[in-house]
């Protein structure tokens, strides 16, 4: 009986050493396989569904606000705190505009991020997303009306436009609607 106990103790020590020497993923796989062998079942029972998974970018897109107000910060869960933290990192002096759909009277504005500030995009070069012109640069302050989370809001934003973008908007008579 003493020999059997000593043998069991030695086997347990070997098993423990074997588990400790494995990396976390291999140890997890071994334990799951041992569980299935002992209790029965299928590997599919251990597979998780990724349908409801959200990345940080998905969370930021859902909770993003162009401008945060004090009443927006009243009931902050972790998702809103993440979006607010991203918002705080943006540079809110000049905007970057997406004028690709201006003929449909749809304009997109967003704040600049660090790389754009360093390169001068939107302040020392054209603020249009698809233009890098620097000739005839003019700054505009535009009242930007938008709907966010079902609420209509307005913001006064600063925008730089090159002559090329200015002329193309003026030719289509959309400039008068937008700026006047």
Exposure class string for 135-159: b at 16+ Cβ within 10 A, else e: eebeeeebebeeeeeeeeeeeebeb
Write down the pLDDT at residue 169.
62
Write down the pLDDT at residue 180.
46
Supply φ then ψ for residue 86, to 5 degrees.
Answer: -65, -45
In this structure, are residues 43 and 36 in contact, taking their beta carbons and an 8 Å threshold?
yes
Write down the pLDDT at residue 146.
87
Write down the pLDDT at residue 60.
92
The Cα–Cα gap between 134 and 153 comes to 31
Helix (H) or strand (E) holding 138, with range, is: strand 138-148
Supply φ then ψ for residue 124, to 5 degrees.
Answer: -105, -5
Exposure class string for 86-111: b at 16+ Cβ within 10 A, else e: bbeeeeeebbbbebeebeeeebebbb
pLDDT tens, N- to C-terminus, the chain (180 residues): 788 888 888 999 998 898 889 999 999 999 888 999 899 888 887 787 778 888 999 999 999 888 888 887 788 899 999 999 999 999 988 999 888 887 787 888 889 989 999 998 988 888 888 888 888 888 888 888 888 888 898 888 888 887 777 666 655 555 555 554
């Amino acid at each position: 009986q003493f020999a059997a106990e000593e043998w069991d103790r030695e086997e347990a020590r070997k098993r423990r050493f074997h588990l400790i020497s494995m990396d976390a993923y291999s140890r997890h796989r071994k334990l799951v396989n041992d569980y299935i062998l002992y209790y029965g079942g299928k590997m599919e029972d251990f597979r998780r569904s990724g349908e409801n998974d959200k990345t940080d970018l998905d969370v930021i897109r859902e909770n993003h606000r162009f401008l945060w107000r004090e009443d927006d910060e009243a009931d902050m869960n972790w998702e809103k705190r993440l979006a607010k933290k991203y918002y705080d990192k943006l540079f809110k002096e000049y905007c970057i505009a997406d004028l690709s759909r201006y003929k449909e009277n749809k304009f997109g504005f967003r704040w600049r991020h660090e790389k754009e500030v360093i390169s001068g995009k939107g302040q020392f070069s054209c603020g249009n997303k698809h233009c890098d012109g620097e000739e005839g640069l003019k700054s505009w302050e535009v009242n930007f009306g938008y709907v966010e989370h079902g609420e209509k809001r307005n913001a006064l934003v600063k925008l730089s436009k090159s002559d090329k973008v200015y002329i193309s908007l003026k030719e289509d008579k959309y400039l008068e609607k937008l700026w006047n």
